[in-house]
Amino acid sequence: MAGLARSVAAAILLLSMTTFGFAANKVIIILDASGSMWAQIDGKPKLEIARESLRTVLQSVPGDDEIGFMAYGHRQKGSCADIELIVPPQA
């Protein structure tokens, strides 16, 4: 749990650092949607924790930042090649 919390905190910190007066930034958010993300922390699947964290982070992203979304492990069980760019970076 501590590792996931640190990862989420790092993601929030990195996204918040993109707002200091620069032109639009390009960011790709990558979601681990593999089977291991269904393991639970305090009775809640890691995937749901990641989704909730993502919702929180996205609310603070400046409108001119170009955000993309990539996921892996969401279509083929156990496949390391199951990587998909779902949304290319766009404002």
Tens digits of per-residue pLDDT, 34-91?
999 999 999 999 999 999 999 998 898 888 889 999 999 988 888 878 899 999 988 7
pTM exceeding 0.85: no
CA distance 1 to 46: 9
In which band, very low, low, confident or very high, does the pLDDT at 11 lie, cut at 50, 70 and 90?
A: low
Paired with 72 in beta bridges are 32, 83
Instruction: Give the pLDDT of residue 55.
Output: 92
Give the domain extent around 21: 2-90
Q: Where are the alpha helices (DSSP H) in the chain?
A: 2-16, 46-58
Q: What is the mean pLDDT of residues 4-23?
A: 58
Examine the pLDDT at 18 and tell me if it is beyond 60.
no
The total number of structural domains that make up the chain: 1
